Amino acid sequence: MIKRLATLLTATTVLCSAGYLQAADLVSKDRVGLPNAANKMVFRMTGDGPGSNDPTYAAGYKKLFGEFIRKHPDWQVELQMMSGDIGQEQARMLEQAKAGRAPHCAAVDSFVLPLFKEAGVLKSLSPYFSQAEIDQLFPFVRNGVTGNDGNIYAWWWSTDLRVLYRNKKIVPDAPETWEQLKAAALASKKKGMEGILFNGGRYEGTTFDWLNNFWAQGGDLVDSTGKPVFGTGDNRTKFLKAVNYYRDLVTSGAAPKRVANIGNYDDFNAAAAAGTTALFVGGNWQLAQLASTLEPEDFANWTFSMLPGPTADQRSTGTGGWTVASFSDDPAKVKMCANLIRDIYMGPANALQQQLPTRADLYDKYDVFKTPANKAFAQALQYGRARPGAPIYPEISNQIQIMMGDVLTGTKTPEQALDAAFKATMNAYERL
């Protein structure tokens, strides 16, 4: 009798849970799943989730998370949202991880992923992804998530890149070299434009957008130990060449002097909408922004191409994006984190937000990425390079921003500015 009663209660509980799973609102801004689920995982996330500020994305993620938790009814996922101060959030999470207090699963900025790998706080995700899936990752992504032991320690699910936008009515052919870009910019001025625009103000975008010119020559900011090397030897020569390229654009009039104060991609959209520029260095995400900002007949005049290099064969582009990683000592929670990555972020979230996938095959899987524009972005990603994850990078970026201002305004020669930047960086490095 007791056994029959227990069986009946168990069956009733399962039926009630199943019914509740169907009827209840399983996804809120801070929890996914039933509050009394037997297992719990904490997931710290960015706005790429049900708490997105964009109502369309929030609804899309709510559907994805709802479908996910119905496949795992004995789990609840506590959602912790990061603030907009990503640098501070990532630094805090690294310290928590070192102290054993990190969330079980979390979004890690690809920019700082090497710091987490170096600290040894991430759990291997290799058992949960096939070698074929890993092989489909773009090279810079595969290298970024792989540890010294060959295991992968995060899944890098979205990325971006920098390209050259042009009004093809003014600039019909894509410049492939620095000299061709300078010539195109000067020619555009004769048609009433202000030349090539790029970030040159005190801003991370200034450093990141410019670095492709250094990387295209094979330059390195730091060595394998994380020590700055951009101011010495062959790297110094390449660095100066890239700095002189930007300086020449301004002094020749191919770029307006005001680029030294630009620190916002929105300025380029505004210039395109006002019809004052035909060329600018921007991010891939700006294509959709131009489409929504410009009148259809004006947007039809705009296109993009890979960033020019010192030669047509020397190309590079800065790439960023987000990963998801696990910090848990519980294998079941590591597996649940991998399940979440696979079911929500590895493809579905890319399609929802039109964020570029990091796997080449996903561009054929989702219709949104089959467009000529997204296929061109995917092709350009072959030349992608991420920022070094060395602890000194933020100071390197800071010094490059200062240097760029000094050079573009003529306050210092490129040599003087580079020497000052490298000296300040090394002083900071010695204090680490």
Q: What's 363's domain CATH number?
A: 3.40.190.10
Q: For residue 15, is it within any domain?
A: no
User: Tens of pLDDT along 347-394?
Assistant: 999 999 889 999 989 988 999 999 999 989 988 888 989 888 787 888
Per-chain mean pLDDT for the chain: 91
Say whether both 358 and 421 belong to one domain.
no
Provide the residue range defining the domain that includes 348.
25-152+319-382
Q: CA 357, CA 345: separation in Å to the nearest integer?
A: 10
How many domains are contained in the chain? 2
What tokens were used for 208?
Answer: 């990141």
The CA distances from residue 357 to 20, 126, 136, 365, in Å, are: 35, 19, 11, 11
User: Tens of pLDDT along 293-346?
Assistant: 899 999 999 999 999 999 999 999 999 899 999 999 999 999 999 999 999 999
Q: For residue 5, is it within any domain?
A: no
Q: Is the pLDDT of residue 24 over 60?
A: no
Of the candidates 329, 343, 345, which has an alpha carbon nearest to the alpha carbon of residue 124? 329
pLDDT the model gives residue 4: 44
Say whether both 419 and 287 belong to one domain.
yes
Say whether both 39 and 112 belong to one domain.
yes
**For the residues 403-413, what does the mean pLDDT come to?**
97
Q: For residue 7, is it within any domain?
A: no
Q: For residue 310, is it within any domain?
A: yes
Q: What percent of the chain has pLDDT over 90?
A: 76
Q: For residue 67, is it within any domain?
A: yes
Say whether both 168 and 256 belong to one domain.
yes
This model's pTM is above 0.75: yes
pLDDT the model gives residue 18: 47
Q: For residue 197, is it within any domain?
A: yes
Q: For residue 12, is it within any domain?
A: no
Q: For residue 157, is it within any domain?
A: no
